[in-house]
Amino acid sequence: MNHSTDNRPRLTEIRLGADAGGWKGSGFTVVDGAVQIGAVTISIIAPSGGILGLAFDHLPEGVSDIDGLPVAIRPAAGIGAVHVNRASAVDQVVIATPDFERTIKALDAVGLSIRSERVVEGEGEEGTVRQGFVRAGEPVIEIVHTKRVPDGHAVGWGLGFICSDLEATAEEFTGLLGALRPAVQPGRRIATFSRDAGLGVPAVLLDAEAPKSKE
């Protein structure tokens, strides 16, 4: 049996301010204000506010935030629920920061050192986009910096979910999901939930892997 020596904290919970009805209407199973997706629990703890905090299976003693984003320790829950929209796991949690280096340093201090980085040169209102990525259990935490991020601390910004049949879900949830388009990851596709979905946070569904040819 192979034993991993990777002791990085694993994401176990996303604490969210949102309308539970919006999540139900978008095909997620909500039980007692919680959405269990794979190894991660999305706990709807307020009517609004988006991502209010994260929890991990372990953290260094005394840590209560990562660059201003509240964090806590929570054991992983049980098996994920079945969702009508075919979401099977949290693919990514996006954290926006006005100070990339400061946030990366804060992540490193809790054992979440960035493993890869991507810079997309740009101009205008958004300017250059800088991204850092680190896996924290099932999901990847993605750190994003652009000129549009307001001053202050790092904030939870968006969520991505793996979908077992994105094409079928996009057809069934027309109006709540945008058109399929290529994702940044080669061979994968993505569909974005509209604001009308009422999830309280920008969210997308992605292919689990490159779709097989139908030929």
Question: What separation in angstroms does the CA of 165 have from each of 32, 78, 89, 179, 188?
Answer: 27, 23, 13, 14, 12
pLDDT digits (tens, 9 = 90+) for 58-94: 999 999 999 999 999 999 887 789 999 999 999 999 9
| Alpha-helical regions (H) of the chain | 20-25, 100-109, 166-172
pLDDT score of 1 more than 50: no
* E strands in the chain: 11-17, 34-37, 40-46, 50-56, 65-66, 69-73, 87-96, 116-120, 129-135, 140-145, 155-163, 181-182, 189-192, 203-207
Q: Give the residue among 130, 111, 134 at the shortest CA–CA distance from 121.
A: 130
Residue 53 dihedral angles phi and psi, to the nearest 5°: 175, 170
**How far apart are alpha carbons 100 and 96 in whole angstroms?**
9
Domains and CATH numbers, the chain: 11-207 (3.10.180.10)
DSSP percent split of the chain into helix, strand, coil, nearest 5: 10, 40, 50
Pull the structure tokens for residue 214: 């139908």
Distance of alpha carbon 150 from alpha carbon 87, whole angstroms: 31
pLDDT tens-digit profile of 8-45? 999 999 999 999 999 999 999 999 999 999 999 999 99
Residue 46, pLDDT above cutoff 60: yes
Quote the tokens at residue 50: 């988006």
Residues in CB range of 170: below 8 A, 6 or more apart: 177, 179, 180, 191, 205
pTM for the model? 0.90
Q: Retrieve residue 203's tokens.
A: 């969210």
Tens digit of pLDDT for each residue in 120-137? Answer: 876 656 678 899 999 999
